[in-house]
């Protein structure tokens, strides 16, 4: 019989990686976004502003000049 959650003897679930945004584990089966090898929970990406997403993709948002 498996240990209950929080039991010090419980086995740690296998991880697929760590989210670059929130630093929480990513577990197999979770929806993730891979941006240049960095993994993000889909939920973390959905919470980001457009400006933050553009910066993640390497774009610079700046003021126009004359």
How does pLDDT run across 9-66, given as a tens digit for each residue? 767 778 999 999 999 999 999 999 999 999 999 999 999 999 999 999 999 989 999 8
Query: What pLDDT, in 10s, does the model give residues 52-62?
Result: 999 999 999 89
Q: Which helix (H) or strand (E) holds 11?
A: none
User: What is the helix (H) or strand (E) element at residue 56, kind and residue range?
Assistant: helix 50-56
- 34 SS3 class: strand
What is the predicted pLDDT for the residue at 13? Answer: 75
d(CA 41, CA 18): 9
The pLDDT, as a whole number, for residue 3 is: 66
């Amino acid at each position: 019989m498996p240990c209950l959650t929080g039991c010090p003897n419980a086995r740690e679930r296998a991880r697929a990686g760590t989210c670059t945004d929130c630093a929480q584990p990513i577990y197999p089966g979770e929806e993730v976004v891979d941006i240049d090898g960095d993994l993000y929970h889909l939920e973390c990406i959905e919470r980001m502003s457009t400006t933050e997403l553009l910066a993640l993709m390497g774009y610079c948002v700046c003021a126009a000049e004359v």
